[in-house]
Amino acid sequence: VADWVLHVDLDQFIAAVEVLRRPQLRGKPVVVGGDGDPTKRGVVSTASYEARERGVRSGVPLKVAVRRCPEAVFLPVDQAAYQAASAVVMATLRDTAASRVEVAGWDEAFLAVDTEDPAAVAHDIQRRVLLATGLHCTVGIGHNKLQAKMATGFGKPAGVYRITSDDWLPLLGHQPAQSLWGIGPGLAKRLAALDIATVADLATANPSTMVEAFGPNIGPWLAGMGRGRYDSPVDDTPREPVSRSRETTFQLDLAEWVDVREELATLTRTLVSQIAAEGRSVSRVYVKVRFVPFTTVIRSRKLAAPTTDPEAVADVALAVLERMEKRRPVRLLGIRTEFAGR
DNA sequence: TCTGGGGTCCTAGGACCC
DNA sequence: TCTGGGGTCCTAGGACCC
């Protein structure tokens, strides 16, 4: 078969971009997260391999990270820099032998490639990306996106790895179902209740049981993934954003409801002003509140008509907030707006 | 002790309509 | 006493990903 899918994944992307513009950091533990102050509330976005060896991984609270690795260099998140680097990477990928490139995030993409020698294409991609950006990437090869994506894990860092249907079960059969792309803690728990623990268990699961337990779409999709099957093709259609959100974690929890209202109104106005400046209008508003102790509530309301008026959206957000229990203290406020015209 | 911020997609169930 | 079947729209909320 000459139709291959390649999954290109930049290695420790965010940390690598930072090291690129601060060469003196090469080889040192680098932690990017929050505003770069590890005494504040926030979590790690990406850590360099040197920091990962010390147990500092994405999602670890910065306060924990600094305890585990006090000598690490802590840097603030600089989205614009990563976006710019990402754009160069994606342009480089589009300039390769790939017939289609599906951007799957800042630092990863799927490529449809028609070739007899996918490994040669993969190495060529690595050379070109390194030349254009100074960044290293891993390339996974398969006959679909799932196989390619799982192969990347075996190729890290900076390697090339291939998985096809023939070696899917020998390689992955004994692994937990949750190791598969798309199976998180929630699905893993429901699978475990059906005595499905591993990828091999999933591969041999009874189809009607799966449909009964997960529905006509997700059931067969899960069972197929157990056998390394994956139908959705590499899709290079540029995607219009569906929604945009902003959220804030307060350094000091809000104890007064009047402050909660004020912060939510400000957050909403800021976001909607930006959206309006881009010429988009808002059709639905979600309000997210995280209370202490740790519970998160999300409520939404559709607007009577799409609008670009920050005040109007703020009013709706406050009305949604009023429907919630006025618990305190409040740790986090978030606003998400869905765009009109979809 | 501490738990970010940015997204997408799917499903259940109620309201309402014919 | 019995109360279909199909459809859309809406909200809540689960789940996953980087």
Burial of residue A154, with CB atoms counted within 10 A of its CB: 0-12 exposed, 13-18 middle, 19 or more buried: middle
Cα–Cα dist A33/A147, whole Å: 31
Q: Among A171, A126, A127, which residue's Cα sits nearest to residue A151? A: A171
Residues with CB under 7 A from strand B: A 34, 41-43, 45, 58-59, 61, 63-64, 215-218, 239, 241-249, 290, 293-294, 331-332, 334, 336
What is the spatial distance between Cα A262 and Cα A257, in angstroms, rounded to a whole number? Answer: 9
- pLDDT at residue A342 is higher than 70: no
pLDDT tens, residue by residue, A133-154: 999 999 999 999 999 999 999 9
Query: pLDDT category, A295, cuts 50, 70, 90?
Result: confident
Q: Is the pLDDT of residue A328 over 90?
A: no
For the question of residue A108 being annotated catalytic, the response is yes
Helix, coil or strand: residue A187: helix
The overall average pLDDT reported for chain A is: 93
Residue A207 confidence (pLDDT) above 90: no
| pLDDT for position A158 | 95
Region A227-233 average pLDDT = 93
* CB count in 10 Å sphere of residue A338: 19
Percent of chain A with pLDDT strictly greater than 70 = 99
- CA dist., res. A45 & res. A47, Å (int): 7
Q: Report the DSSP pairing between strands A243-254 and A160-162.
A: unpaired
Question: Residues A69-85: what's their mean pLDDT?
Answer: 93
- A324: confidence class by pLDDT, cuts 50, 70, 90: confident
The DSSP letter of residue A162 is E
Residue A338 has pLDDT above 80, yes or no: yes
Distance from the Cα of residue A159 to its chain's centroid: 22
- In percent, the amount of chain A with pLDDT more than 90 equals 80
The span from the CA of A204 to the CA of A189, in Å, is: 18
At A103-120, the pLDDT tens digits run: 999 999 999 999 999 999
pLDDT at A276: 92
- The HSE-up count of residue A245 (CA atoms within 13 Å, CB side) is 15
What tokens does A5 get?
A: 């899918």
pLDDT at A159: 97
> E-assigned strands of A93-238?
100-103, 108-114, 137-142, 160-162
The catalytic position among A53, A108, A256, A263 is A108
Q: Which nucleotide is nearest to A245 (CA to C1')?
A: B6
pLDDT band at A131 (very low <50, low <70, confident <90, very high): very high
Please, which pLDDT band fits residue A211 given cuts at 50, 70 and 90? confident
Nucleotide nearest to A239 (CA to C1'): B8
- Closest residue by C-alpha to C1' distance, nucleotide C14: A186
pLDDT at res. A1 = 58
